[in-house]
Amino acid sequence: MVYDIIVIGAGPAGLTASIYGRRAEKKVLVLEGNNYGGQIVNTLDIENYPANYHISGFDFANNLYRQALDLKIEIKFEKVIEIKNKKIKEIITNKNKYLGKTIIIATGSTYRNLGILNEKELVGKGISFCATCDGNFYKGKDVCVVGGGNTAVSDALYLSNIVNKVYLVHRRDELRADLKDATLLKNKKNVTFLLNSSIIKINGKDHLESLDLSTKEGENINIKVSGLFIAIGHVPMNDCFKNLINLDNSGYVIAKENCHTNIKGIFVAGDIRTKEVRQLVTAVSDGAVAALEAVKYLRNK
């Protein structure tokens, strides 16, 4: 079977693309290597999406997934290994091979690691990348959040209502997060800010025990914590196409607002695309644009 559109990724951008493609009466396949919903499922409360003033990321993802299923969109949970650019494009997964006239890449990104010794060994043993997933394990304990953006501040706010104390570690002298949330966090009595600081050592054998920090002034600090939540950004998930599609220096797909890549018939949507703003609203916008551009390509082919 040859699909009109194959979407790689079932996050907000990918599922939106599939919905727009299906509504244009195209044969659409969605391939997802993990779970549907992408990073948004870890967001406790979405406040900045138009007409949905308060909705959890989990509920948003479920609604989008059900909408795709209601349209009879075919969704398969298989990891894409390779894309072959032919007249009819080939996608190789860990289970099968699929043929498509067009492809929409919506693979998104994954969590960035600190790259410190003992980090990988203690993931799940005190180190986490999702405060809303694992925060309750640390009820009444002291924890640390590292990062200065919206995710880090959101995680620290969430944890401050559960744990005894939150240390927020950020390498710069000011936060990059939205002013509203940053102000809320600064008013929390159980939050301690450690700015101009970096984690240099993670201590613990079977579980996290403490962290060694270094400040820009050369001071060394040790904090005893039971949990470390890492929120220092994301890494683009480009393994299956990095040798085919043009990427920028950070590994994101080079594409303008029309979502065209350097390969005809291959489009891109969501956080994997080069852009100034990576938000839920821009992800679904990309999904709609990419699908409509794919439909236009098919019509003019």
Structure tokens at 88: 């009819």
Amino acid at 207: H
Q: Which of 134, 178, 181, 212 is catalytic?
A: 134
Structure tokens at 130: 């999702």
Structure tokens at 61: 């993802």
Task: Say how far apart CA 67 and CA 62 lie, in whole Å.
Answer: 8
Q: Which of 45, 70, 133, 239 is catalytic?
A: 133
| CB-CB neighbours of 15 under 10 Å | 30
Task: Say how far apart CA 29 and CA 62 lie, in whole Å.
Answer: 18
Task: Say how far apart CA 66 and CA 10 lie, in whole Å.
Answer: 12
Q: Which of 130, 178, 181, 212 is catalytic?
A: 130
Catalytic site residue 286?
no
Nearest to 202 by CA among 91, 119, 86: 119
For 78, list phi and psi in degrees, rounded to 5: -135, 145
Catalytic site residue 133?
yes
For 144, list phi and psi in degrees, rounded to 5: -130, 140
Query: In 3-state terms, what secondary structure has residue 141?
Result: coil
Supply the angle between the helices 150-160 and 179-186 in degrees, to the nearest 10: 30
Are the C-beta atoms of 231 and 155 separated by less than 8 Å? yes
Amino acid at 220: N
Active site residues: 130, 133-134
